[in-house]
Amino acid sequence: MSHPLDPVHAMRPGLLQLSSLPPLSLYVHLPWCIQKCPYCDFNSHEWRGPGEASTVQQAYVDALLTDLQASLPLIWGRTVHTVFLGGGTPSLFAPEQIDRLIGGIRALLRLAPDAEITLEANPGTFEKDRFRAFHQAGITRLSIGVQSFHDAHLKALGRVHDRAQALAAVAEAAQVFETFNLDLMYALPGQTLAQLGEDVATALSFAPPHLSIYHLTIEPNTVFAKHPPALPEDDEAYAMMDLITERTALAGLGRYEVSAYAKPGHACAHNLNYWQFGDYLGIGAGAHSKLSFAHRIVRQVRYREPQLYMQHACAGEPVSQHHEIAHEDLPFEFMLNALRLKEGFALSDFTERTGLALTRIQQGLQQAEAQGLLARDWSRAWPTERGFDFLSDLQALFLPPSA
Ligand SMILES: C[S@@+](CC[C@H](N)C(=O)[O-])C[C@H]1O[C@@H](n2cnc3c(N)ncnc32)[C@H](O)[C@@H]1O
Ligand code: SF4
């Protein structure tokens, strides 16, 4: 098998024909947390104590930069428009290490002058004092994982922070950053509609430019999957969604994606690029990449376990899985993301980003329209309100015939 980072192999002839390459983003995964939350299935691992932390951080940033250097031939000459430092809990990293990481990224890549550089932060990880230092290191946008402002719900979610720490972290972010995001979750164990209303009101009192509100899902292989908590009934969860849509709209935040609300000009450019089937190079433990070439689109996954990743990255072999997306899977992969967006997608983007003719989704578009799940004009297609409510039904209309 050829090497996954070999550009010659990636650029060999093939049946697909892309007329141009989409915008490129960089994702960097920082995989450690103070403790693992019982609902979380992300690639996150508990620190084994502060002693370990500083040496590991140094080694991990070295591994990331070695990984990036080795991956450069796959993205040669392309400008990177957004960078996202996600986790895990990136705010556990010392600002000096984040500074070194961003400095290294800037030295290796051509970043757009107005590149959005986001860092995910958790309240309760001493990072309140660090926000200014992160800003100075070049972070332009902070995303704070609040989840709830109720102590009882934070406890039920196994979070390390409390309400007071959440309030302090958001207040500090609002002072330091021109743009920031709050993550909340709803339909939490024991949560009432009134309590969710309080969480939304508290979040909105900080006038956040961006809010992400996720329905708590029970993921396989988590503590919650093994010991399921009592959750609000479906009717109650729908009422919660209605409340969220109403209150955010009144505060001037538009719902531009299923779970994302933003003031004009504050949508997350990094996530928008994912949803619009843009390209991303993902470095770090377990990070995913999607990269386009003239005749193929490939996906890669890096080694998931942090120590294993560091060993392989330093040996120039960070990729554990690599495959070319089959042509018959491209329509669904494109639609799965594009239909999450309120504005849907430009029909020309389908052809440009997948290299396929529009006829490949024509039948699905017609069915979706007939079912009232989708609307379109001569240049765009977008989910209707009903389409948003029954998103998985809408997406399923574009599954490959064999699925
Ligand atoms: C993986 S976390 C990383 C950020 C940070 N470590 C934190 O927890 O705040 C990103 C976001 O995903 C959301 N999330 C994680 N697990 C979830 C689940 N099972 N259901 C819904 N949302 C979830 C949370 O809102 C969280 O802020
Ligand atoms: S802090 Fe975030 S990434 Fe870490 S375990 Fe909890 S939800 Fe997952």
Tell me what pLDDT residue 381 has.
98
Tell me what pLDDT residue 34 has.
92
For residue 183 and ligand 1, the question of a CB distance below 6 A is answered with yes
C-alpha of residue 162 to centroid of ligand 1, in Å: 16
Residue type for position 282: G
Tell me the average pLDDT across 32-54.
87
pLDDT, one tens digit per residue, over 196-226 is 999 999 999 999 999 999 999 999 999 999 9
Closest-CA residue, ligand 2 atom 6, reads 37
C-alpha of residue 303 to centroid of ligand 2, in Å: 19
Closest-CA residue, ligand 1 atom 16, reads 40
**196 three-class SS:** helix
Q: Residues with beta carbon inside 6 Å of ligand 2?
A: 33, 36-37, 40, 42, 44, 87-89, 122, 145
Closest-CA residue, ligand 1 atom 25, reads 183
For residue 216 and ligand 1, the question of a CB distance below 6 A is answered with yes
C-alpha of residue 33 to centroid of ligand 2, in Å: 6
Whether the pLDDT of residue 403 is over 70: the answer is no
- 322: enclosing H helix or E strand: strand 319-324
Closest ligand to the CA of 35 = 2
For residue 89 and ligand 1, the question of a CB distance below 6 A is answered with yes
Tell me what pLDDT residue 48 has.
76
Q: What is 234-261 written as a DSSP string?
A: HHHHHHHHHHHHHHHHHTT-EEEETTEE
Mutational pocket test of ligand 1: of 36, 45, 85, 120, the residue with most ligand atoms within 8 Å of the beta carbon: 120
C-alpha of residue 349 to centroid of ligand 1, in Å: 30
What span, in angstroms and rounded, lies between the C-alpha atoms of 216 and 154? 13
Mutational pocket test of ligand 2: of 89, 92, 161, the residue with most ligand atoms within 8 Å of the beta carbon: 89
Closest ligand to the CA of 231 = 1
Whether the pLDDT of residue 333 is over 80: the answer is yes
C-alpha of residue 363 to centroid of ligand 1, in Å: 36
pLDDT, one tens digit per residue, over 110-163 is 999 999 999 999 998 666 679 999 999 999 999 999 999 999 999 999 999 999
Closest ligand to the CA of 36 = 2
Decide if 334 contacts 356 (C-beta within 8 A).
no
Closest-CA residue, ligand 1 atom 26, reads 145
pLDDT more than 90, % of the chain: 94
Closest ligand to the CA of 33 = 2
Smallest CA-to-CA distance from 242 within 215, 209, 206 is with 215
Q: For residue 39, which atom of ligand 1 is closest to its CA? A: 19
C-alpha of residue 214 to centroid of ligand 1, in Å: 8
Whether the pLDDT of residue 312 is over 80: the answer is yes
Q: How confident is the model at residue 401 (pLDDT cuts 50, 70, 90)?
A: confident
Whether the pLDDT of residue 271 is over 90: the answer is yes
Token pair recorded at residue 181: 């995001």
Whether the pLDDT of residue 51 is over 60: the answer is no
C-alpha of residue 213 to centroid of ligand 1, in Å: 10
> How far is residue 322 from each of residues 288, 291, 301, 368, measured CA to CA in Å?
10, 11, 7, 33
